[in-house]
Structure 1
């Protein structure tokens, strides 16, 4: 069967949920037995989001192969239960960089390089790279909003693809806003009409319109949109606000979105098996327990900065039939004096990753409080490094212990910039050049971790070795390993050659664990990550004993 393509665009305004809609549609079509993958095309000029401020862009999601990508790839992986990679996320910067590299190399034989056809051809090649005999459908989300100047080459490229591949192999879905005006007590279709008009002016006629709305749209409203936007009456669907994002696939199924897609693309799809989704939603709505977790970080003013973390904690709750309540705390506000009031009555404390010195001392104070008060603690990436610093200072007695990231002149760099390490993926040594570009100095992607028997980590994974995703520059300094272990710190996970420390924990504590990697990136609602599962279980046990 020929690989078919479904393109998702957005109109009126940003943050309507294109990524969640695309992921939900993909999940429905996968449940129908189709082989589906998904791609995000981002119009911004950055080559990738790796150097972008989390306050502007949200989290940077990392794939197994080390791609730093848009956070929507996290939704894709969680909803589909598959692993994506470099070819599943392209930006304008990456596309232009490739074209300019080819021009400098002489690939265009001295011709004038233009947006059409050179940029658009590069975009089409990126899209078509996912087609194969093993793939029935590729869903492509176009970032941004119709009308953005940066997105024009992407829209032109997908316009051309319908002519290239034939109308039976290409489908356009447009997600738009239908606002409800409370004062008038009615919905307004004009923004949708203008958005579709803008899209049609670029040569793209949407086949399906998804209408994001606070309220259910009546048949009269849907018919009006269909008439003015030139789509079938049964191709206008309500994408109503839901209480939980994992309800969206079921809601779109009830609307009949996947059935319409299957008809228009002539997909040989069977009836979907949605029982796993129904079970998940039932568990979310009918929890047996409730637990409160404090997330002590520096980007808490934008929850999107911790999107995968938030979802992984929710998954951990699902595994324990518990609703997780979140208490986000700005680490800059945490001191020895404020910690007791800020962290009062929480059942677990999580310190996430981050870069730079701001807020680090607050994270260390939160870890001290968790360690000394016996509150379950989970440190991720920088959170693990801060746990090592805290232990070195307050238990081992190295008062000036620090990371070279925060104090290059510290006399006790328990966390330092490792210059080289063995890459078990490539079978080669990797070297850090501090003068290299920012991305080039990081350990990125999946690396193996070998567990020490009899530890929290080994009990959680129930495996001798696992692969987890990394995104960091600094490492545990093994020159201090012997002294820290003698003082009671347990090294429970390392690289197979034992040169890289991946997990640390404490024995005489209800549950205290820090990991150098990002386990939140591989957690899904159907398969919660074992560390998040056990962390929430420990928080519930602490709650019962408190």
Structure 2
């Protein structure tokens, strides 16, 4: 087993996840079998109940695991499906150790951080590594020195001792700030961070230097001198306009050769399957403006997968997407912000705040012919809007927001009734969707069956389906039994569609989400006559 452990120092938010993902992509492009594992030191069992303001997007995997958003990066960069085992949390580790203690597995021993907690961490790491990979990338969340991270770093130190120096490498991500009028690159934060890492018994083999500009040869030499890391292992990770450009920057610094040399792995020829993709990102031939209408718009990481999906579409089509983030509540005062966009996306979400503004956006798109895509809550909002403004049920709502509505067009899933615990209890993960023949959805997917990821507790109320379809709403996709509505569209409209599932979670750089791609191409079609009219 070979491992590459990525730690972080100085401050959080330096981009360990993007660096880990980029390394995984490069190693795979050189012909190696690679996977990635994220360690999150928080006490939560998983990310499912965490507030987007604190944690960003909750990413959902095929097996229904609700995980850190970095798992989304791993899947996109490696083009591999992860499982819940690829995300280790303090909550998972301690829960398992306590369960074993209650069962008597430790034969009366005093349960301690070392060896019991560290052994459980190592067991989980090796379970992932045992699937037959050449290299397992392990990203340790948080910053060196955090009390929460200490058991995980100790476990990583032990793995190196047990597996041997030639099978485990450590990479440390640090900040190289630029100070003063001449923007001198300062190495002292990196020196202190490596010193702290050494104090817990870990000597890094590589240092990834986060900086505004490429690090200078002098900076590289100085960091190498003070950290005992060879210059070939000092890597510049300077700011780039798009994260998908980073792997190429790392490749040009010979980092794969350095890693494979240290791990005694033969390295294959670099395939660079993203070459044309990068060209389109750097020079889009046309642009459209898409409104993302939500309640976390000031914190864009809450909608990271949507943002990345639009990037995938640009890389494949050459059509650039300018995202206009719109706080849904602002639309209750005026819809003027929507007048300048060429398409509208309403993403998923929970809680009543912001919902009425999303209803306004759905009505605007339906009445004015603006290209529209609703995802999860956006799907449900489109149903509520249709019931209110087409069927005339002015109080129509979801029982999530109004338990006493006389027209509950969205209601809780039957199996969700009576559930008390919030974590891990929704309809989660990959589910089969049947797509009806002769519909817009069928033309988009070109298949009678698709598999998509879900995360919801509420569904379209079957009591209202026939009435809505008679009025022009088409439910073009259902679950496997034909009971739950999965896709909706408007009769006679090519640019209005919504889905109960999260199409953005399966989007990859070379295989963008078909629904998002359709939205962008319809936005381009909508934009062109408006440009001619403006002239």
Say whether the fold is shared (TM-score over 0.5): yes
* Runs of 4+ deviating beyond 4 Å: none
> 1:408-423, aligned counterparts within 5 Å?
408-420=403-415
| Distance (whole Å) between structure 2 residues aligned to residue 434 and residue 542 of structure 1 | 46
| Distance (whole Å) between structure 1 residues aligned to residue 131 and residue 373 of structure 2 | 43
| Distance (whole Å) between structure 1 residues aligned to residue 290 and residue 55 of structure 2 | 24
| Distance (whole Å) between structure 2 residues aligned to residue 133 and residue 19 of structure 1 | 22
> Of 448, 453, 458, which aligns to 2:432?
448
What TM-score, normalized to structure 2?
A: 0.98
> Of 512, 531, 544, which aligns to 2:496?
512
Aligned to 2:42: 44
| Distance (whole Å) between structure 2 residues aligned to residue 129 and residue 479 of structure 1 | 47
> 1:210-359, aligned counterparts within 5 Å?
210-274=208-272, 276-335=273-332, 337-339=333-335, 341-359=336-354
Shift of 1:400: 1.0
Give SS of 2:305's match. helix
Query: Residue by residue, what CA displacement relative to the aligned partner does 1:222-275 show, whole Å, maximum 9, x if unpaired?
Result: 11101111111221111111111100000000111111101111112212101x
Asked if 2 retains the 8 angstrom alpha-carbon contact of 1:376 and 1:512, the reply is: yes
Aligned to 2:374: 379
Q: 1:260 to 1:518 in 2, by over 3 A?
A: same
| Distance (whole Å) between structure 2 residues aligned to residue 394 and residue 480 of structure 1 | 14
Query: Residue by residue, what CA displacement relative to the aligned partner does 1:307-343 show, whole Å, maximum 9, x if unpaired?
Result: 00111122223333111001000111112x501x111
Shift of 1:182: 4.0
Asked if 2 retains the 8 angstrom alpha-carbon contact of 1:316 and 1:534, the reply is: no
For the aligned residue pairs, the C-alpha RMSD in angstroms reads 1.1
What TM-score, normalized to structure 1?
A: 0.96
| Distance (whole Å) between structure 1 residues aligned to residue 426 and residue 31 of structure 2 | 39
Query: Residue by residue, what CA displacement relative to the aligned partner does 1:18-42 show, whole Å, maximum 9, x if unpaired?
Result: 0000000000000111110111000
Give SS of 2:474's match. strand
Give SS of 1:128's match. helix
Shift of 1:376: 0.2
Give SS of 1:344's match. helix
- Where in structure 1 are there 5+ consecutive unaligned residues? 421-431
Aligned to 1:470: 454
Asked if 2 retains the 8 angstrom alpha-carbon contact of 1:433 and 1:441, the reply is: no
Alignment: residue pair count: 530
Aligned to 2:422: 438
Give SS of 1:51's match. coil
| Distance (whole Å) between structure 2 residues aligned to residue 434 and residue 368 of structure 1 | 33
Asked if 2 retains the 8 angstrom alpha-carbon contact of 1:115 and 1:153, the reply is: yes
